[in-house]
Amino acid sequence: MATKSILVIHGPNLNLLGIREPAHYGHITLDKINTQLSRIADTADITLETYQSNAEADIVAKIQNLASNTVDFMIINPAAFTHTSVSIRDAISAVNIPFVEVHLSNVFARESFRHHSFFSDIAVGVISGLGADGYDAALRFAINRLNNAL
């Protein structure tokens, strides 16, 4: 059986994790999050790619370029684009790859403009407020799902 593949997409400003608003996002850096995810994926013999961009068009292009038979599952923190981006939502619908939406902070405990997501209703599930552990949980879920797929 071919090795399963998971893509993690981090949206805008997540490259600043570690220095950015630690009260909301903690002190962990994006590099540390990605390293931890890679460890989990390696142990499970899953191919993992991580990708970060501050540009909506680049994220749309990245998703458009995925052949659905090369990436089996996605984990996405669209960051600010969560609340604004119909184009990223449409790109995901076009490639039809299942995904979990992750937020470090509990968006529902914050400003009301963060309460709406353009992604949640098409996501397999949503994790919000667990900090970096949310990514780990999403990855473990994705691995279980892929390993149990028919």
Question: Is 79 one of the binding residues for ligand DQA (CB under 6 A)?
Answer: yes
Number of amino acids touching ligand DQA (CB under 6 A): 10
User: Is 29 within 8 Å of 50 (Cβ atoms)?
Assistant: no
CA 136/CA 31 separation, integer angstroms: 14
Site string for ligand DQA, 96-125 (x = CB under 6 A): -------xxx-x------x-----------
Of 77, 27, 83, 87, give the one whose Cα is nearest residue 53. 77
102 CB-contact burial (10 Å; exposed 0-12 / middle 13-18 / buried 19+): buried
Question: Is 17 one of the binding residues for ligand DQA (CB under 6 A)?
Answer: no
The reply to whether 103 belongs to the active site is yes
The reply to whether 25 belongs to the active site is yes
What distances in angstroms separate CA 47 from CA 12, 36, 68, 98, one per listed residue? 24, 14, 14, 16
Greatest extent of the chain over all pairs of C-alpha atoms, in Å: 46
Catalytic pick from 10, 24, 25, 115? 25
Question: Is 82 one of the binding residues for ligand DQA (CB under 6 A)?
Answer: yes
Binding range to ligand DQA, per CB under 6 A, among 27-35, 50-58, 73-81, 91-99: 73-81
| Contacting residues toward ligand DQA, per CB under 6 A | 13, 77, 79-80, 82, 103-105, 107, 114
Report the catalytic residues: 25, 103
